[in-house]
Amino acid sequence: MDMVEVENFQKNLLGCFYRPLPPGKTVTHVNLVMLGHVLPDMQPTTSPDHGTKRTFSDIVKNDIEILTGKRTVAIVARSGSGKTATVIHLAKEHFVIYVVCEAPNSRTPDFNDHNFRVLAKEVDGFSHCLQAPFQVGDDRRKYMDDIRNYDSQLKVLASERVELEFLARQMFLELLFRKYPQITPEEFFREQINGGSIAIGKLVGNLRQYHPQTIRKMLDNVGNDLKTFLNGRALVIALDEAHIAETDIMHDQLISPWAITHNVEFLERNGTIRSDLRRGFLTPLCATLSDMSATLVVLGTSLTLMDAQHVYSAISKPDDRFAKVTSFPWCDELQVELLLGKIIDISDCEIPPEKKRRLRGRFRFTTSIVNEIIKYGHSSQSKQEILDEAIDSSIKNSKDLIRNNVHKLLVSDKAGMIKHLFSRMVIADKLKSGKVAFAQLEELDFVNYALCALRKDNDDYHWVTDEPIVVEVMEEELKRSGADHDYMEYLEQFNSILNNLGATSSTRGQPFELLVYRSLKRFNGYLLRDLPFLKDIKNLPEWCKYATLNVTKVGTAMELGYDNDNAQSDLEYLKESPPGQLLIPTNVTRPDGVSFFDHQYGLTLAIKL
């Protein structure tokens, strides 16, 4: 590739915003992902809640001296967090065999891996080469044995094809070393995703003639040869878009290795494999690669913690040989302008504070502005006008991508749990700068890995949402979904007060109280001791450990069926103490709410802004 042509093309493309950007496969392409980490201190880490906090690069470096049983690392985070950029940054220092998992008929936006598509098509066809077991009569035990044998045969065939593929990819690296002893990790990375893919495909074709045992022996020899060339640098196999190997290749055809090893009853009554024990190609893929002389890294746009658990089950290694990298740095308002200025020339331009606030969170929110500027081409607008429109367009596109996810979650939310969770987060963003408490750990994990970045507050109780545009989309989609009309009406009143009178106005109290009453119903069925605003209080009364919240109706005395809204009616309510009803008393010195569990115990509610 002629770098002079690349420079001329990019200068013409970016105009007054020009700074050198990494080219794609041709002179006329730009691949921003190849930038890697633009700012310092962007290394993701293992979760601080799971043992000693370690950076991704440290995990890889510590693996260099290990001869056998190298680590497997699962990188799990939201789309746009910087997972692929992290691997590419690693490839500037260590040799990374980079693989994009693609189904036979799929394509990925940044990189295409034709050789993996061929591999996927072949392993998908293995099930047609074997006789699938079927049950004869009532002999369920024999049927299970037949399924085990079938599962084992499929996994062996898949494993042998993986060994063939990755022998070719490692041989390609060795050939480059022998021809260019001074080749750098970055040069190798570029070579394998450009013209090198053709050479790898030819190597696979030539190696097919050998027996699987010979392939395995050749793998050992190539692995030993590579150690002499690495010179203190790691060899890493990175599986990007790894979730595709689970969901689109050999989908549900295999059984969890753990279930096989522990002789678990893996069949439903109707003779089908239990849904929680079904696996796809990701299982034999990771099981095979984890035995090679390389650190295995698994990542993907939609890779989940459950997928990571499947990887852990597949590799059958001790806990210290498996790591989950889940904590990614986030882009604050100061870094938005700094990051963009590192990629393109934004001199003589200004990013308004409100736009910087909305771009906070994932680094992709900011880097995607460059793609929008590229779309403009030659324009008669000023540099500032182009930047302003590019930022607006980038925010809109980012919201559209988030919207698809939020919409799917709301549509699938039959019990209303997600709607209530989103509603609480919207209020927390408006009143408490995004601070929110979670009743259950599952809620925290769901939000943090599926939707937006969460950061533990200094009080060690609340979590802070760091992505304002995600909350914007939540509010917009809640309105569209028609979820809880009363709640949304109160929210509209509340928004109007905040916009017109400010967050400190005393007028905001009434609609906020209505929001709290409505939100309180969200916790119906919870034990009092598990409520987020009570669970950390020591020495709760014993009855709180067994009483469950049940607020079905909220209102003043008249709204609850009494004659008037006065002290006498409130007293009648207290005497009757009807369960499931929360009274809003009318007395000036009243609490904000009173409710009873039975005739022995009750609660009063105080709402504070």
- pLDDT, mean of residues 89-102: 94
pLDDT digits (tens, 9 = 90+) for 454-502: 777 777 667 788 888 998 998 888 888 876 545 555 565 566 655 655 5
**Residue 67 contacts residue 105 (beta carbons within 8 Å):** no
- pLDDT, mean of residues 292-319: 86
Distance CA 366, CA 376 (A): 17
Q: What is the pLDDT of residue 485?
A: 47
Q: What is the pLDDT of residue 486?
A: 53
Instruction: Tell which wins on pLDDT, 597 or 11.
Output: 11
Does residue 184 register a pLDDT over 50?
A: yes
**Residue 230 contacts residue 178 (beta carbons within 8 Å):** no
Does residue 208 register a pLDDT over 80?
A: yes
Listed ranges 317-326, 393-402, 549-558; the one with the highest mean pLDDT: 393-402
Confidence of residue 348 (pLDDT cuts 50, 70, 90): very high
What percent of the chain is predicted at pLDDT more than 90? 38
- pLDDT, mean of residues 224-233: 94
Closest CA to 343 of 325, 369, 365, 319: 369
Long-range contacts of 315-318 (CB under 8 A, 24+ apart): 315/72, 315/286, 315/287, 315/290, 316/257, 316/287, 317/69, 317/72, 317/290
Number of Cβ atoms within 10 Å of the Cβ of 525: 9
Instruction: Tell which wins on pLDDT, 35 or 340.
Output: 340
Mean pLDDT of the chain: 84
Distance CA 523, CA 550 (A): 8
Closest CA to 37 of 64, 57, 58, 11: 57
pLDDT digits (tens, 9 = 90+) for 380-410: 889 999 999 999 999 999 999 899 888 888 8
What are the angstrom distances between the C-alpha of 46 and each of 49, 317, 325?
8, 18, 4
- pLDDT, mean of residues 451-456: 76
CA angle 467, 469, 475 (to 5 degrees): 115
Q: Strand (E) positions, 224-371? A: 235-240, 254-255, 278-279, 295-298, 322-327
**Residue 117 contacts residue 249 (beta carbons within 8 Å):** no
The packing angle between helices 185-193 and 140-179, to 10°, is 120
The packing angle between helices 468-481 and 485-501, to 10°, is 130
What percent of the chain is predicted at pLDDT more than 70? 87
pLDDT digits (tens, 9 = 90+) for 117-140: 999 999 999 988 888 887 767 778
- pLDDT, mean of residues 277-283: 94
